[in-house]
Amino acid sequence: MAWFGSAFGSKAKASTQSSPHTAVQSAPAPSVRPPVASSSNPERELRILELGSEMLDIARTHKSGMLSKQFYQDKIMDWSMKDHNFKVQMFRFVDAFPALTTPDMVHDHLVDYMTQPGVKAPPGMDLALKAGGVAKSLAAKTISGQITGMAKNFIAGTNAADALPMLSKLWKQGISFSVDLLGEACVSSAEADAYQAKYLDLVENLVGTASGWPASDRLEKDHVGIVPRVNVSIKVTSLCALFNPIAPESSTADFMKRATPIFEAAKRNGVLINFDMEQFELKDLTLDTFMHACDTHEFEAGLAMQAYLKSGVADAKRISEWAVRTGRVVTVRLVKGAYWDFETIHAEQEGWPCPVWHEKWQTDQCFEDMVEVFLDHCPTEPGQGGIKLALGSHNVRSIGAALAGLDKRGLPRESIELQMLHGMADQLKHAAEQMGLRVREYVPVGEMIPGMAYLVRRLLENTSNESWLKAGFLDNANTATLLADPASLAPAELKQDLVDIAAQRHGLSLADPKVGNGLPFYSEPLRDFAEDDQREAFGRAVAGAAVPSVANDRTVEQGVAMLDEAQAAFPAWRDFDPYLRSKVLTLTAQMMRDRRDELSGIMCKEARKAWREADADVCEAIDFCEYYARMAPSLTEPSRLGKFIGELDELWYQPKGVAVVISPWNFPLAICCGMTVAALVTGNTVVVKPAEQTPGIGKAMFDMISDALRQVGAPSGVLHFCPAPGETTGAALVRDPRVNVIAFTGSKAVGLNIIEAAGVTPEEQSHVKRVVCEMGGKNAVIVDASADLDEAVLGIRYSAFGFQGQKCSACSRCIVIDPEGPGGQRMKLFLERLGESTKTLVLGEATDPNADVSPVIDGEASGNIYRFIESARSEGLTELVGAKDFPETDIADLIAPHIFTGVTETSTIYTQEIFGPVLAVIHAKDFDEAMRMANGHAYKLTGGIFTRKPTHIDRAKREFRVGNLYVNRGCTGALVGRQPFGGFGMSGVGSKAGGPEYLMQFVDPRACCENTMRRGFAPEL
Ligand SMILES: Cc1cc2nc3c(=O)[nH]c(=O)nc-3n(C[C@H](O)[C@H](O)[C@H](O)COP(=O)(O)OP(=O)(O)OC[C@H]3O[C@@H](n4cnc5c(N)ncnc54)[C@H](O)[C@@H]3O)c2cc1C
């Protein structure tokens, strides 16, 4: 296997492999950083240059250590930095690696990733990819060894006991530590309990061992007192499965329940507890929780704060002022932030302003500004409240700036601490220690699976062109460049936030200067419940919302009278200015925006929608208005086909006539609005019959559209609101011969009945009715053998139980692949995590922001769902989760989430649509079987797959025949314009809502061919 070794072999071999490395080495020093142009404060800059140069000089004489040249020379890293496509696929493979339980799986996945388009495997690895038989296992073993080796660079052991010899060695070298427990996403209270036990174990037991180590003044004393020898880093999310900014009080309370014994033990043992900082969404809640913990418990406390956040300086001031005000001393570990890519991507996906700086120099500048704030609040004598600063950085410029800040204030070196990650920058740790600084290593311990996310973060960070370490120790940038003032790197023009250019960037619809804001459509952003203002305003609106009182009492005669008027209004509306029709929609969208929280409140109360669901419903309704408004005008405009001389061929569309809209209760605003405005904007007149359960929100919608119609001077009689029983008035409406188009969303039974009735054409009817019909789903999500279970558990839990499973897109069949059989390890692990995670959901009224699961729509629905639950029991299925697992409540129609296992393909709950919080989990032995099962249902609406095998993603795209397929995410929540929604088979007829063809269903095409030639002469010639 020499070929393989040469590419991925031992470090000794790798370091002598010259060509790829030489290529990197000979690359010019980073020219991305312009030379230092000016300095904001020459004296300060000079001092930083002195201090930084001193540290760099010492570091560069210290040969050993990771993230030196040797680290980067490792072939995987080396090739990753040369070939972006290889890096992406390799890091994806690394991420999937711990889930690959056999050499065959390892090899198959490696082949899959390395044969993706555009990927060029490094020399030697290409042969490994072709290996068969014994060579295949050997190749798998080699690559496994490489990845495990890489992980060991950064992760000190599987647990603290494992890491102890290393911690003791560090101490002897003059370096302190903070132990961090690596964890998978904590998805259940059971998992949070397990983390609590591990943290307690650390806090109780590390001290015993560490107390035997020799004393060290430098490591254990700062300028105002004692520095705890043992330092443990915790993540708030690992102690609370529902740490959710939408419900801050209960999140903090749940966290404190598990954290309090840890704080007490920390106090007893003199251990410092440091709160790590995670995603921006949790930042404010973490800060509040931290301050609450410090206000209520006495323990040595620390907190990580991130400088890549635009809010960095404000956050620094907030925590500093609190510390001084309350007389509390806390340590702040100032870091730049580990989730920059995630935050950038997530903000764009949500349509929110990006919370992190766009450019690296801004992060660096913010770091220095935050340093200044913290040093200004550093306690100068024992007993004084304030901030002790710890610098979590490997960037010598950033460190130098802080040291200069100390000098300026006359603070001694021991008043700050340097913290660096295990496995990184050993040279710098050595240099800092030589300069008399207190250095602490952040030491992660944990198993391979949870370790991978951490490892991938480190690999990404270290191979990034923005990495200071890479510039300093691989690219050998010169000292002046490495120590340049970040402010001097500011370009003349700052990058724009993606959200400000989102509409143009994505071009999701046509753009017409005469429609809306003249830009293409872009999704209405959801409320960001992490923002106090938004959350509080929403809560007030929900509390104050009044559901319009509407009786479903319109008779058949009244319905018929509406059709009379709609028919009479049609010609004028048909010939109305299409741009004014579009304006009706954009005006309506604006009215909804102005009232959005109130509209959500109406739905929370009337449709029992939880906060987020109600908010999403309003946003979707706005989106339908804005999207269709942009797509409609061009339809009436004749478009020329071809360029024949003497012949003008044109195509355009005209409205069909009278439309009847019959809408469901589960998206009582969005779907009702989408169908109504699609019909209206294309020039049809409309009679809307809302669901009997939700006429109130229907009325609110009707009033807003009517107002918009008035504003544009629309003829009267264009839109009618007909709250009425479906069996009588609804049935009569769809059967009326004057109706041209019926837009229906609802159950299969009613949908098929409408299709059948629409097919009957009495003598006096002058047209064939068009039915746009969306009926239902029995949607399956596959969990592949290499799936990321953190993602799969949360994605499936939300898809199955979000809005109590009352979405046609909801997941109701979960197909888990485990080659070992239904009792296999993979299946067991998934079921355990899904089950425990589901039990963590909170049941309550929809108006309560804490509630994850609220009552189903009404008593009839709950009776129906209970019958399915009974059928599952009587068929002998295993109730993995059920009512027994939740506290009893007396809230009517509140059905606990149910998960059944032992399901077969003939089980009732597997075959029938339930429309409630019931999930059937079935085992599949392999991917082929899973695909057959997934496709084995007449409904073809949504489907999902969690997998990290590229060929399985490709196959699912080709073979999983559903209207909307979701890969590695939940299967609900389609967005207008981005994920046009709708199925086929028994799920419905018609094209996708929120898609480019939807409006075509409300129009008839017309074509004209004009002979423009007169006596052999044509104008074009
Ligand atoms: C002891 C310790 C504890 C840590 N704990 C945490 C923690 O709790 N939470 C956390 O999030 N991180 C934490 N980190 C990780 C830390 O955020 C990263 O290691 C750090 O970002 C690397 O910064 P640097 O100064 O060493 O390197 P540099 O190379 O100077 O900075 C790299 C950083 O710059 C930022 N960046 C990269 N590109 C851009 C860009 N285009 N625009 C703007 N900014 C950019 C990113 O934050 C990136 O990580 C910790 C680090 C240490 C050393």
Using the atom order of ligand 1, give the atom closest to the CA of residue 307.
Answer: 47
Task: Check if 916 has its Cβ closer than 6 Å to any atom of ligand 1.
Answer: no
Beta bridge partners of 334: 305, 391
Per-residue pLDDT reduced to its tens digit, 882-934: 999 999 999 999 999 999 999 999 999 999 999 999 999 999 999 999 999 99
CB 990 within 8 A of CB 1001: yes
Using the atom order of ligand 1, give the atom closest to the CA of residue 357.
Answer: 43
CA dihedral (113, 116, 118, 122) positive or negative? positive
Confidence bin at 13 (pLDDT 50/70/90): very low
pLDDT of residue 616: 98
What is the per-residue DSSP string for 381-409?
STT--EEEEEEE---HHHHHHHHHHHHHH
Lateral strand order in the sheet of 811-817:
878-881, 898-901, 918-924, 811-817, 779-783, 942-946, 964-967
Task: Check if 336 has its Cβ closer than 6 Å to any atom of ligand 1.
Answer: yes
Q: Do the strands 300-306 and 988-989 form a parallel or antiparallel pair, or are they unpaired?
A: unpaired
Task: Check if 45 has its Cβ closer than 6 Å to any atom of ligand 1.
Answer: no
Nearest CA to ligand 1 atom 37: 360
What is the per-residue DSSP string for 214-276?
PP-HHHHEETTEE--SEEEEE-GGGG-TT--TTSHHHHHHHHHHHHHHHHHHHHHHTEEEEE-
Write the single-letter amino acid at 820: E
Model confidence at 710: pLDDT above 50: yes
Phi–psi pair at 167, nearest 5 degrees:
-65, -40
Per-residue pLDDT reduced to its tens digit, 104-156: 999 999 999 999 999 988 877 777 777 777 778 888 888 888 888 888 888 88
Phi–psi pair at 132, nearest 5 degrees:
-130, 175
Per-residue pLDDT reduced to its tens digit, 454-499: 888 888 888 888 899 888 888 888 999 999 999 999 998 888 999 9
Average pLDDT over residues 411-423: 94
Q: Is 278 helix (H, G, I), strand (E, B) or coil?
A: coil
Q: Do the strands 988-989 and 271-275 form a parallel or antiparallel pair, or are they unpaired?
A: unpaired
Task: Check if 286 has its Cβ closer than 6 Å to any atom of ligand 1.
Answer: no
> What are the C-alpha distances in Å from 320 to residues 5, 386, 391, 411?
53, 6, 16, 17
Q: What percent of the chain has pLDDT over 70?
A: 95
Using the atom order of ligand 1, give the atom closest to the CA of residue 394.
Answer: 26
Min mean pLDDT across 97-101, 565-569, 618-622 is at: 97-101
CA-to-CA distance for 511 and 502, rounded, in angstroms?
13
Using the atom order of ligand 1, give the atom closest to the CA of residue 339.
Answer: 11
pLDDT of residue 140: 87
Model confidence at 766: pLDDT above 50: yes
Per-residue pLDDT reduced to its tens digit, 801-828: 999 999 999 999 999 999 999 999 999 9
Task: Check if 962 has its Cβ closer than 6 Å to any atom of ligand 1.
Answer: no
Residues carrying an active site annotation: 774, 808
What's the burial of 413, exposed, middle or buried (CB within 10 Å: 0-12/13-18/19+)?
A: middle
pLDDT of residue 72: 64
CB 774 within 8 A of CB 987: yes
Per-residue pLDDT reduced to its tens digit, 221-248: 999 999 999 999 999 999 999 899 999 9
Average pLDDT over residues 415-428: 92
Nearest CA to ligand 1 atom 45: 360
Model confidence at 18: pLDDT above 70: no
Model confidence at 6: pLDDT above 70: no
Average pLDDT over residues 321-346: 97
Nearest CA to ligand 1 atom 41: 359
Average pLDDT over residues 347-373: 97
Model confidence at 67: pLDDT above 60: no
- Calculate the average pLDDT of the chain: 92
Model confidence at 23: pLDDT above 50: no
Average pLDDT over residues 760-774: 95
Mutate to test the pocket of ligand 1, among 335, 344, 437, 473 (most ligand atoms within 8 A of CB): 335
Nearest CA to ligand 1 atom 52: 392
CA-to-CA distance for 962 and 974, rounded, in angstroms?
14
CA-to-CA distance for 621 and 57, rounded, in angstroms?
62
pLDDT of residue 146: 83
Using the atom order of ligand 1, give the atom closest to the CA of residue 469.
Answer: 29
CB 491 within 8 A of CB 447: no
Per-residue pLDDT reduced to its tens digit, 527-574: 999 999 999 999 999 999 999 999 999 999 999 999 999 999 999 999
Mutate to test the pocket of ligand 1, among 336, 394, 463, 483 (most ligand atoms within 8 A of CB): 336
Task: Check if 131 has its Cβ closer than 6 Å to any atom of ligand 1.
Answer: no
CB 365 within 8 A of CB 358: no
Model confidence at 31: pLDDT above 50: no
Model confidence at 95: pLDDT above 60: yes
